[in-house]
Structure 1
């Protein structure tokens, strides 16, 4: 079991050139739990994750990991505790799956140290968990979108961080692999106590797998808390501009959102 780590944003403002995306945000992520961030396109979800992993410097405010500003921490030290799977990552041309997943071990390499048996074990476990071991010798740029996504997740797992940020980890995956990946992250959280923060587009998967749900709208937090309290018809309307019905999921008991369109709706 990992040690609990605190991760929070204080008075955080983020943007690109003249455009402000996140405005004066205060947010804390429950340690050793799974948090899902949802919201409409361009509401700031990916921007927030980029700043939390120090890829984007704040205009004002701070991102704090265990009380320390992540943007002041040495990169390698931060990478031993906090890992990021960004949206649409790019692999070096011609790199094999095994080599890419092995790069997840870089933060654990000391100066002049050699590849160790522990590194082999971590990479093999990550390949096995993501069902990509049979792809180990293939070039990443030869794989399908779904295969590549699973390989990137394997690299993030090989890093073995206590805090893991994932930006749309189910992108390019069919429904069975989406559930498989989210089950895998749940196993990681329950077995190691890994704090997981992920951006998801599917509201129902977010509500099912998250312990803590955050709904962003216009660069601020519209609602945050237990999925049953956040995923409501009023919240869906306010955040997405969508009328819906929210009912209990007959499988998980979590809230299940049914969108209402102009067609294929039974008359009342």
Structure 2
């Protein structure tokens, strides 16, 4: 394994039962960058992420990490390189926050090895980064949805992988914590070089925080590249069936999508 892992999807087809969700997809995720996958509901975003983490075996094609098929790598070897935060994770009943976050260290444990100071430091840093230190001794099943989400992110951070896959990491979070989590992932990318691949529903947050956008439509790749090239009025119309106006965000300098609905649309100004 290299320090900058390259995650590649080659001629990938995925599905459940008789239903095909992803068909003949080719994609290269740039190492050391932040990638956001966007698209309408049921377009295959989460399915693609599940396959990248080998939770779902391809019907055809393959997912490669540094040229090796992820489904053939030893589980612990893969888990030391690649971490996943799924969309709706479940915790064992009665487990405390600190114990759950500590499970992120499992891939680093050897047979008969003891818990180390390095493990303590990784868990403490993950709790601090996600503002969950005060929750450490509380049972996870007593927390609010937003608190739980931050705890799950802490567990993913404690795993200390070079590639981190996140399926809707801002789910259940209020707008303040959404920004905090995305800032945290950006810090992780910039300070450690972690490759971040995340599914996001919010197009504007995706465009603000991602270096690389992937837009899926109907299980196929519709557009990929820099946010300025991908988040366009034509792409939003094709991928979401939505008319919109795209302007430059005065805060970030990134594209900002303004949806056009049937109501609350200002009348043109008469300049005559």
TM-score range, shorter chain: over 0.9
TM superposition shift of 1:267? 1.3
Q: Which residue of 1 aligns with 2:21?
A: 21
Q: TM-score, normalised by structure 1?
A: 0.99
Q: Which residue of 1 aligns with 2:238?
A: 238
Q: Any conservation in 2 of the 1:146–1:173 contact (CA below 8 Å)?
A: yes
Q: Secondary structure at the match of 1:238?
A: helix
Q: Secondary structure at the match of 1:31?
A: coil
TM superposition shift of 1:3? 1.7
- Are 2:159 and 1:127 equivalent residues in the alignment? no
Q: Which residue of 1 aligns with 2:174?
A: 174
Task: State the distance in 2 between where 1:198 and 1:8 align.
Answer: 15
Q: Secondary structure at the match of 2:61?
A: strand
- Are 2:95 and 1:99 equivalent residues in the alignment? no
CA deviation vs aligned residue, 1:137-177 (integer Å, no higher than 9, x gap): 00000000000000000000000000000000000000000
Task: State the distance in 2 between where 1:40 and 1:74 align.
Answer: 34
Task: State the distance in 2 between where 1:252 and 1:98 align.
Answer: 36
| Aligned residues between the structures | 267
- Are 2:90 and 1:87 equivalent residues in the alignment? no
| Consecutive aligned runs of 4 or more in structure 1 exceeding 6 Å deviation | none
Q: Which residue of 2 aligns with 1:165?
A: 165
Task: State the distance in 1 between where 2:15 and 2:74 align.
Answer: 23
CA deviation vs aligned residue, 1:55-97 (integer Å, no higher than 9, x gap): 0000000000000000000111100000000001000000000
Task: State the distance in 2 between where 1:8 and 1:133 align.
Answer: 36
Q: TM-score, normalised by structure 2?
A: 0.98
Q: Secondary structure at the match of 1:42?
A: coil
Task: State the distance in 2 between where 1:76 and 1:57 align.
Answer: 18
RMSD: 0.6
Q: Any conservation in 2 of the 1:3–1:193 contact (CA below 8 Å)?
A: no
Q: Any conservation in 2 of the 1:165–1:197 contact (CA below 8 Å)?
A: yes
Task: State the distance in 1 between where 2:84 and 2:220 align.
Answer: 22
Q: Secondary structure at the match of 1:21?
A: strand
> How do residues 214-225 of structure 1 correspond to structure 2 at under 5 angstroms?
214-225=214-225
CA deviation vs aligned residue, 1:103-151 (integer Å, no higher than 9, x gap): 0000000001010000000000000000000000000000000000000
Q: Which residue of 2 aligns with 1:189?
A: 189
Q: Which residue of 1 aligns with 2:146?
A: 146
TM superposition shift of 1:259? 0.3
Task: State the distance in 2 between where 1:106 and 1:61 align.
Answer: 30
Q: Any conservation in 2 of the 1:76–1:107 contact (CA below 8 Å)?
A: yes
CA deviation vs aligned residue, 1:170-222 (integer Å, no higher than 9, x gap): 00000000000000000000000000000000000000000000000000110
Task: State the distance in 1 between where 2:157 and 2:84 align.
Answer: 10
- Are 2:160 and 1:156 equivalent residues in the alignment? no
Q: Which residue of 2 aligns with 1:36?
A: 36
Unmatched 5+ residue regions in structure 1? none
Task: State the distance in 2 between where 1:13 and 1:66 align.
Answer: 20
